[in-house]
Structure 1
Amino acid sequence: MTKTMFKMTMGLGLMVLAAQQVQAQGRNCAPREAVLKRLAETYSETRRGIGLVQQGSVMEVFASDETGTWTITVTMPNGVTCLVASGQSYETLAEALPAQGNDA
């Protein structure tokens, strides 16, 4: 289920990225080091997932079990990281995957 949740989160991130990438570059972007520092120090968030998206960018999911917050970021090839989405009530799921061969 963890892989399924990651794929769903990555899919959501891609959809949000496609809709907001141009707008986000001016308002919600900063050098990667500054973004990671802020997520760690302010929200206690650590990286929980990573994936490649369009044009060589990297999508990452950060979350905190302590605060329950989560953030999806996209880092461009030039090192600029943009916030794509964020929220509360993050939970790590440990559900069993369907048996092989079953169309679930």
Structure 2
Amino acid sequence: MFKRLFCTALVFGAAALAPPAHAQGITCLPRESLVERLENRYKEHLIGGGLQNPQQLLEVWASGETGSFTVFVTRPDGVSCIVATGQHWNDGPRATPEGVAG
């Protein structure tokens, strides 16, 4: 009984001490501002997306020119939060290596 209580307290204590989202590197801003920045600075355009749940739209933007990509989620209030960014985006079909099902 004591072990369970201790573990539960430890888990909730760790969650309470976790840094806020903005301290974890998550950037949120109005969707219009984010889209303008992606189009102008990174030459990215919308390549796909869909509803993550009834309250969140997930979008993937990428650039064949620069190779950069951005994944973000937009809330109903118009604020978008970047989930992931990266380089070396590839739009084309991928060759399947020999011996790999796929």
Q: TM-score when scaled to structure 1?
A: 0.65
Say which SS state the counterpart of residue 53 (structure 1) adopts: strand
Moved over 6 A (4+): none
Which protein has the larger Cα radius of gyration, Structure 1 or Structure 2?
2
Number of residues of Structure 1 aligned to a counterpart in Structure 2: 76
Unpaired runs of 5+ in structure 1? 1-21, 97-103
Which whole-Å CA distance do the structure 1 matches of 2:26 and 2:89 have between them? 24
Q: Taking every aligned residue pair, what percent have the same amino acid on both sides?
A: 41
- 1:1-104 matches, within 5 Å, as 23=21, 27-94=26-93
- 2:21 alignment partner AA: Q
- In terms of fraction of residues, the more helix-rich structure is 1
RMSD: 2.3
- Residue type of the alignment partner of 1:69: S
Partner AA of 2:48 in structure 1: G
2-structure distance, mates of 1:85, 1:57: 15
Asked if the contact 2:73–2:80 (Cα under 8 Å) also holds between the matched residues in 1, the reply is yes
User: Per chain length, whose mean CA-contact separation is higher, i.e. which structure has more relative contact order (CA < 8 Å, sep 6+)?
Assistant: 1
Alpha-carbon distance, 1:23 to partner:
1.5
Partner secondary structure for residue 32 of structure 2 = helix
Q: Distance in 1 between matches of 2:79 and 2:54?
A: 14
What letter is aligned with 1:42? R
8 A contact 2:56–2:76 mirrored in 1: yes
